[in-house]
Structures are given as structure tokens and as C-alpha cells.
Amino acid sequence: MYTAIKKGFGDYIFPDLLKFNFRCLVNVCNRFRATDFARLLVALHEQRDRLQDLVRTTPTSRLDFELVKNCQRIALPMDLSQFDPRSLQTPRYALLGHGDRTIMAIFVKPLVGGSGTVSIYSREMLAEC
């Protein structure tokens, strides 16, 4: 089985990832190729024991539940156990971060061509709706 982040390789980054404020990605998410960003999330999810469910689709907090509730009609949970680009034919979501730094990434395939887009939503963005 292929493991994107090898055990023992780059262990020093895990504490920093746990403190990372994923909300800063809101301003640059339109620059990500959806397939590449999805692969990154799957790789991070593989390290969930070390990263304390940093990437997930199952809500673990009140904010997670709020984010999922607001998108459950437009997107399905992403399968984080493996990446299949065909799964992005239907809008998918994943949660990133912990506490008030949690965001939701929604992957949407374009109507014609392209690799799809990633939209990122934070609590503050929900308050504006």
C-alpha cells in the first residue's frame, strides 16, 4: 500500500500542522487544482492518528456540525480513505483544522473540462449568509 507521508519522514511538521490556521487558504483556494488539493487531504488523513483528525468528514465539534449542515444539500462527504478523481464528478466536502480555525473545503467539477475548483468556507463566511 502506498503511503503519501512516510513514517518517520518529516515528523517535525506534525506539531506545526496541528497549529496551522487553515482559514488563510480562503484567499488562495481558487489557485489550487482540485485533484491536487484532494490528494493532499487524503495524505494528511492517512496520518490522522498523529494529526488528531485534522482532516475529516465526520463532524467532531459544534462548528463542524454548522459547516456540514450548511452544505449537506450541495455536497457529499469526500472519501478520505483513498483518492479517486472520478469521485469529484459530484460535489464533495472535507473539514480541515480544529476549533475556531476549522474550515470546510468543497470540491466542484466544472461543467466543461478543467480539473475542478476548491471553495473554502469559514465560520465567518457562514455568518454573512
Output the CA–CA distances (angstroms, integers) from residue 96 to 8, 69, 87, 112, 113, in the order listed: 23, 16, 19, 28, 27
Contact yes or no for 106/74 (Cβ under 8 A): yes
- The predicted structure's pLDDT at residue 13: 75
**Single-letter amino acid code for the residue at 127:** A
pLDDT at 4: 52
Which of 74, 68, 76, 64 has its CA nearest to residue 102? 64
Identify the pLDDT of residue 2: 41
**Residue 1: per-residue pLDDT:** 37
Segment-wise mean pLDDT, segments of 10 residues, the chain, 129 residues: 51 77 82 84 85 90 91 89 81 91 85 75 73
Domain spans of the chain?
A: 29-128
**What is the per-residue pLDDT for 30?**
74
Take residue 9 and report the three cell numbers written for it. 519522514
Residue 77 pLDDT:
93
Strands 76-77 and 55-56: unpaired
Do residues 56 and 45 touch, judged by C-beta distance below 8 A? yes
At residue 76, the pLDDT reads: 92
